[in-house]
Chain A
Amino acid sequence: MTLPTKRFSIETTALVKEFGTFRAVDGLDLKIEEGKIVGLLGPNGAGKTTTIQMLLDIITPTSGSIKIFGKELHAHKQEILSQVNFSSPYVALPSNLTVFENLVTFARLYGVKNPKQKVKEVATFFKVDHLLSRMTASLSTGQGTRVNLAKAFINDPMLLLLDEPTASLDPDIRDQTLKMLKQIQKERGVSILYTSHDMNEIEILCDHVIFINKGKIREEGTPDELIKKFGHKDLNEVFISIAREE
């Protein structure tokens, strides 16, 4: 009897990114299993954002390869990007458009069939349907985050890259957002690569955690495995231990 082969949404091999003499990512072999929520953790400057930007083809790697859905990113860029999406509070949607105009624009950019219907669908799911006619500039931080997430799901992505999506949210909105993400993962089997500095939400949300520091993978496993391995009481202490390693 053969064991079922694991399928990976993301597979990087010996991925390196150098900026002059500084090596931001140092031979990263990253594997993200299909349908899992994976936390990419590390201190500031660890290489998380550079890695995400290489996965989105915003930054060109110095060397190494990136495969998404088993295909080379560079050679199949358009096909891959149509099934990927990204959200970060540091990248805004145009504030001079209404929420509907923003969402329908992205639905069309991703080639979604029946874009207006899709906008209503994601807006209802993320509870922003009552905001569709509002100008994006007039949204609160929490509303803006949910609209950003609605945009991130507009193309029913198979892979979602979320860079600190809950930063600056109040605990209530953050809790609701995490529940929505968990629900989507279960219902649609989407793979999510998630970065956050909030270890509590990582413990709640992630199936698997990868700690990187100085551009290299330092530890990986489920949150429970890592807590046991380090003999700490929570992931926050694990984070501190790894971040302070020489």
Chain B
Amino acid sequence: MKSVQRIQALVMRHLYVYVRSVPRLMDVFFWPVMDILILGFLSVYLNSINTGGGLNFLALLLGGSILWQIVDRSQNAISTYFLEDVWYRNFINIFITPLTWTEFFVAGAILSIIRVVIVAIILTVISLLLYHFSIFYFGSALPIYFINLFLFGFVLAVFISAIIIRFGSSAQVLAFGMAILVQPVSAVYYPVSALPIVFQYIAKAIPVSYVFEAMRKVTNGGVLSTSDWLIPLGLNLFYLIIVSFFFVAMVKKIKIMGKLLKIQD
């Protein structure tokens, strides 16, 4: 029960800020909206010159962009949530309470889901109004996509948090660039086969590349197979275990080095 209260404390603490801060709200919506405006109009244009038909650019580009936002926004939300207490020099106050790291990240995940769902609703409405494209085009596979994309964003965020714990706030640039770093090998807008062979191997180790491959399969009239969601789920869970151990190891290391307080500097 106290664990629930502690998670509630952190969720509320961050919601207080979001509700009040226009720049924070802008940060949540601005980039995703810009992305779908650009890719949406590009898709409309490509569809108009694709007179032979055969390719649905709206589904491939706009759909890809909306789904990618789930990775990008979930990672960004959890990383920002982590950094908030570093920026405000509140980190130590938080971690001398009975709060556990698990509770801390569960609260981050809840906040992230709230943010991602709100962004997804707004993007869905915009894409419906401007391009007559609905994300529900992907049908019953959508929840499976969502879980895998969100999990991967979460894994990236825990990894970034571990790096910030170890190397301090100077490593925070990762919080805003990590998702972009893996995007080229995530096969968001093109198939894995379009990548050079070395990158294809890397892409196969990236869980979300399977999700985007599956999205293209469904778009082209194919049917989702068990492996389309089981492989990325397995990879995500594997990486989640790895980054959790990595995070715990970094916390142990920094406590031995006596520099936990210094991450605020």
Point out residues on A near B: beta carbons under 8 Å. 17, 19, 24, 50, 53, 56-60, 77-79, 81-82, 84-86, 91-98, 101, 104-111, 151
B97:A94 contact, CB within 8 angstroms: no
B99:A109 contact, CB within 8 angstroms: yes
Cα–Cα distance between A139 and B89 once the two chains are bound (Å): 16
Specify which chain A residues have a CB less than 8 angstroms from the CB of B100 in the assembled complex: 78
B96:A86 contact, CB within 8 angstroms: yes
Cα–Cα distance between A50 and B95 once the two chains are bound (Å): 16
Specify which chain A residues have a CB less than 8 angstroms from the CB of B252 in the assembled complex: 60
Contact with A along B164-184 (1 / 0, CB 8 A): 000000000000000000000
Pairs of residues from A and B, 3 with the lowest C-beta to C-beta distance, nearest first: A108-B9, A111-B2, A94-B88
**Taking A81-B98, A111-B2 as contacts, is the C-beta distance between A105 and B13 under 8 angstroms?**
yes
Interface of B is mostly: helix
A106:B93 contact, CB within 8 angstroms: yes
Q: Is B92 located at the chain interface by the 8 A CB criterion?
A: yes
Contact with A along B6-25 (1 / 0, CB 8 A): 10111011001100110000
Cα–Cα distance between A77 and B99 once the two chains are bound (Å): 10
Q: Is B225 located at the chain interface by the 8 A CB criterion?
A: no
B16:A101 contact, CB within 8 angstroms: yes
Residue of A with least CB distance to B256: A60
**Taking A101-B16, A105-B9 as contacts, is the C-beta distance between A96 and B88 under 8 angstroms?**
yes
Specify which chain B residues have a CB less than 8 angstroms from the CB of A94 in the assembled complex: 13, 17, 84-85, 88, 90
Query: What's the minimum C-beta distance from B184 to chain A, rounded to whole angstroms?
Result: 35
B93:A59 contact, CB within 8 angstroms: no
B98:A111 contact, CB within 8 angstroms: yes
**28 residue pairs A–B, Cβ–Cβ below 8 Å:** A53-B260, A57-B255, A58-B260, A59-B256, A60-B255, A77-B98, A78-B98, A81-B98, A82-B97, A82-B98, A86-B92, A91-B93, A91-B261, A92-B88, A92-B89, A92-B90, A94-B13, A94-B90, A95-B88, A96-B21, A104-B12, A105-B13, A106-B9, A108-B8, A109-B6, A110-B97, A110-B98, A151-B93
Residue of A with least CB distance to B16: A101
B96:A58 contact, CB within 8 angstroms: yes
B88:A53 contact, CB within 8 angstroms: no
Specify which chain B residues have a CB less than 8 angstroms from the CB of A98 in the assembled complex: 16
Cα–Cα distance between A78 and B103 once the two chains are bound (Å): 12
A96:B255 contact, CB within 8 angstroms: no
B261:A58 contact, CB within 8 angstroms: yes
Contact of A97 among B16, B89, B260 (CB under 8 A): B16
Residue of A with least CB distance to B260: A58
Specify which chain A residues have a CB less than 8 angstroms from the CB of B96 in the assembled complex: 56-58, 81, 84-86
Residue of B with least CB distance to A112: B5
Cα–Cα distance between A98 and B13 once the two chains are bound (Å): 10
Specify which chain B residues have a CB less than 8 angstroms from the CB of A53 in the assembled complex: 258, 260-261
Cα–Cα distance between A81 and B2 once the two chains are bound (Å): 13
B258:A19 contact, CB within 8 angstroms: yes
Q: Is B257 located at the chain interface by the 8 A CB criterion?
A: yes
**Taking A53-B258, A58-B255 as contacts, is the C-beta distance between A109 and B98 under 8 angstroms?**
yes
Cα–Cα distance between A98 and B90 once the two chains are bound (Å): 14
Contact of B97 among A50, A97, A109 (CB under 8 A): A109
A58:B21 contact, CB within 8 angstroms: no
**Taking A19-B258, A97-B16, A101-B16 as contacts, is the C-beta distance between A91 and B98 under 8 angstroms?**
no
B8:A97 contact, CB within 8 angstroms: no
